[in-house]
């Protein structure tokens, strides 16, 4: 295994609130600026409208390298992890593990510009493991909701006032959605106004009935309204042989026609 030279972007640059790190162009070499710009393009492609929450700069010097870094991720929140290598880097691979050490996601094949969608189940330090083939410079970034949006989401999780909820940006979209009915005590009702969205990143997936037969999409700003588990005591109906958890790769939250849905993941 080769050695590397790691430095967290921001050690020589100003760090903003919420660990948003950025370097001024004057502090970078031309090659660093090129990789930085390529990273931002890749990040916007993987997480449209998102912000770079963490950046790491690395260099492989002996042909093969395994290393990683730690980043704080929030529960029930999705992120994109992207990497970019220079022309000397043959391939990059990524593995993301939870605070307990369980793996959450990994790249399917080595690439010079890998991109990985990760949805954290719990808040805490997650490890981004990296494997590098080749000798050269590379950068990795974690992209997610901009800090201001994350703060608004955190505020929503403790229960906004009715007037505050009515003033959110999703309210004008609510009329195009339909409520998901809870026809029995073992089914969850999802309000129409809680499904409005503008992008996939706005949505989360939740279990809509005790049997796991239906999954529902909800705007993450309203997730606190569905934090209470379904009361399945006495349920004796059918149980699905699948799960709504997006990390299992069967269902994924999507924004379709302005409404959050849980869509089956197409098999490759």
The per-residue pLDDT for range 46-97, each reduced to its tens digit, is 888 888 888 888 888 876 777 778 888 888 888 999 999 888 999 999 999 8
Domain assignment of residue 155, yes or no: no
Strands 77-85 and 136-144: antiparallel
**If residue 40 lies in a helix (H) or strand (E), which one and from where to where?**
helix 30-46
pLDDT recorded at residue 142 = 92
**What does the radius of gyration of the chain's CA atoms come to, in whole angstroms?**
20
The pLDDT, as a whole number, for residue 58 is 83
CA-wise closest residue to 19 among 144, 128, 106: 144
- Same domain? For 128 and 188 the reply is no
pLDDT of the residue at 3: 38
- pLDDT at res. 113: 87
Q: Which strands sit side by side in the sheet containing 77-85, from one edge to the other?
A: 7-8, 51-60, 136-144, 77-85, 115-120
Q: So what's the pLDDT on residue 109?
A: 83
Neighbours of 58 (CB within 10 A): 23
Token pair recorded at residue 68? 């990683």
Q: What is this structure's pTM?
A: 0.50
In this structure, are 248 and 192 located in the same domain?
yes
Query: Do 140 and 167 fall within a single domain?
Result: no
Same domain for 133 and 179: no
- Identify the segments of the chain with pLDDT beneath 50: 1-26, 149-175
Q: Confirm whether 1 is domain-assigned.
A: no
Q: Domain with 49 in it: what CATH number?
A: 2.60.120.380
User: Is residue 95 located within the same domain as residue 129?
Assistant: yes
110 is a domain residue: yes
Residues 173 and 136 in one domain: no
The tally of domains found in the chain comes to 2
Task: Give which of 23, 94, 87 is closest to 52, Cα–Cα.
Answer: 23
Nearest one of 43, 47, 63, 67 to 55, comparing CA atoms: 43
Block residue for tokens 């967290």: 8
**Cα within 13 Å of Cα(14), Cβ side:** 5
Which domain range does residue 86 map to? 7-144
219 in a structural domain: yes
- The whole-number pLDDT of residue 167 equals 33
Query: What's the confidence (pLDDT) of residue 25?
Result: 46
The reply to whether 246 falls in a domain is yes
Give yes or no: residues 133 and 31 share one domain. Answer: yes
The residue among 74, 109, 144 that closes a domain is: 144
Q: Are residues 175 and 132 in the same domain?
A: no
Does residue 93 share a domain with residue 50? Answer: yes
pLDDT at 180: 85
Q: Are residues 32 and 118 in the same domain?
A: yes
- 126 within some domain: yes
- Say if 73 falls within a structural domain: yes
Specify whether 255 is located in the same domain as 180. yes
> What pLDDT shows up at residue 60?
81
Same domain flag for 31 and 124: yes
**Where among 85, 118, 144 does a domain terminate?**
144
The secondary structure of residue 165, as a DSSP letter, is H
Whether 156 maps to a domain, the answer reads: no
Q: Output the pLDDT for position 250.
A: 79
64-73 and 251-256 as β-strands: parallel, antiparallel, unpaired? unpaired
Distance CA 38, CA 31 (A): 11
């Amino acid at each position: 295994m080769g050695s590397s030279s790691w430095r967290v972007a921001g050690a020589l640059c100003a760090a903003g609130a919420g660990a948003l790190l950025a370097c001024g162009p004057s502090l970078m070499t031309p090659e660093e600026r090129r990789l930085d710009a390529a990273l931002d393009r890749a990040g916007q492609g993987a997480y449209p409208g998102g912000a770079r929450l963490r950046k790491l700069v690395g260099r492989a010097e002996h042909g093969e390298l395994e290393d990683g870094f730690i980043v704080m991720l929030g529960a029930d929140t999705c992120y994109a992890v992207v990497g970019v290598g220079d022309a000397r880097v043959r391939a990059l691979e990524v593995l993301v593990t939870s605070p307990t050490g369980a793996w959450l996601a990994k790249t399917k094949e080595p690439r010079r510009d890998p991109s990985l969608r990760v949805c954290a189940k719990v808040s805490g330090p997650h490890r981004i493991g990296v494997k590098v083939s080749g000798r050269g410079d590379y950068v990795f970034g974690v992209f997610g909701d901009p800090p201001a949006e994350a703060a608004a989401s955190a505020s929503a999780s403790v229960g906004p006032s009715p007037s505050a909820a009515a003033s959110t940006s999703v309210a004008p979209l609510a009329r195009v959605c339909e409520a998901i009915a809870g026809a029995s005590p073992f089914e969850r009702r999802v309000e129409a106004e809680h499904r409005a969205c503008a992008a996939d990143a706005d949505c989360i997936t939740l279990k809509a009935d005790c049997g796991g037969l239906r999954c529902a999409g909800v705007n993450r700003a309203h997730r606190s309204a569905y934090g209470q588990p379904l009361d399945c005591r006495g349920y004796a109906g059918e149980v699905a042989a699948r799960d709504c958890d997006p990390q299992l790769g069967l269902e994924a939250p999507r924004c379709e026609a302005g409404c959050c849905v849980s869509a089956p993941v197409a098999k490759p």
